[in-house]
Structure 1
Amino acid sequence: MSATGIILAGGHSSRMGENKALLKIGGKTVIERIADQLSSLLPNVIIVANKQEDYQFLGLPLVSDRWKEKGPLAGIQAGLSESRTQNNLIVACDMPFISGELARILLDQLDQHQTAVPEIGGQLHPLFAAYRKDASTAAELALSENKLRIRQFLMDIDSRIITDKELEKMGFLYRDAHFFNMNRPDEYQLALKMAEEASK
Structure 2
Amino acid sequence: MNKFGTAILLAGGKSSRMGFDKQQLKVNNILLVEYIINRLYTVFDDIVVVTNNSEHYTNLPCRTVQDEIPGYGPLSGIHIGLKMAKNQYGYVMACDMPYINFDYIAYLKNRMEQVDCDACVTVFNQEWIEPFHGFYSKKLISPIEEYLKSGKRSVFGLLKNFNSIYIEEEIAREYSPNWDLFLNINTKEDLLELETQWSNLNM
Tell me, in whole angstroms, the C-alpha distance in 2 between the residues paired with 1:30 and 1:64.
20
The residue that corresponds to 2:194 in the other structure is 191
Structure 1: 5+ residue stretches without partners: none
CA contact (8 A) 2:7 2:48 kept: yes
> AA paired with 1:119?
V
CA contact under 8 A between 1:8 and 1:90: conserved in structure 2?
A: yes
What is the root-mean-square deviation of aligned Cα atoms in Å?
Answer: 2.0
Aligned position for 1:71 = 73
Q: Counterpart of 2:48?
A: 46
| Partner residue of 1:24 out of 26, 30, 44 | 26
Alignment of 1:95-110 (within 5 A): 95-110=97-112
Task: Compare 189-198 and 71-80 and name the one that shifted more.
Answer: 189-198
TM-score (norm 2): 0.88
User: 2:51·2:66 contact (CA, 8 Å) conserved in 1?
Assistant: yes
**Residue type of the alignment partner of 1:178:** L
Provide, for residues 34-85 of structure 1, a one-character-per-residue CA deviation record: whole Å limited to 9, x for no partner. 1111100111111111222233242421111100222211100000010010
| Alignment pair present for 1:117 and 2:121 | yes
Higher helix share: 1
Structure 2 unaligned blocks of 5 or more = none
Which range moved further: 48-57 or 137-146? 48-57
CA contact (8 A) 1:110 1:131 kept: no
Contact 2:10 2:77 in 1 (8 A): yes
Q: Is the 8 A contact 1:87 1:107 kept in 2?
A: no
Aligned residues: 198
**Secondary structure, aligned partner of 2:58:** helix
Assess if the C-alpha contact under 8 Å between 1:117 and 1:160 holds in 2. yes
Report percent identity of matched pairs. Answer: 26
Code of the residue aligned with 1:188 in structure 2: it is L
Provide the residue aligned with 2:165 in structure 1.
Answer: 160
Query: 1:172 and 1:71, CA in 2 relative to 1: closer, same or farther beyond 3 A?
Result: closer
> In the alignment, which of 92, 95, 102 is matched to residue 93 of structure 1?
95
Q: Distance in 2 between matches of 1:97 and 1:77?
A: 23
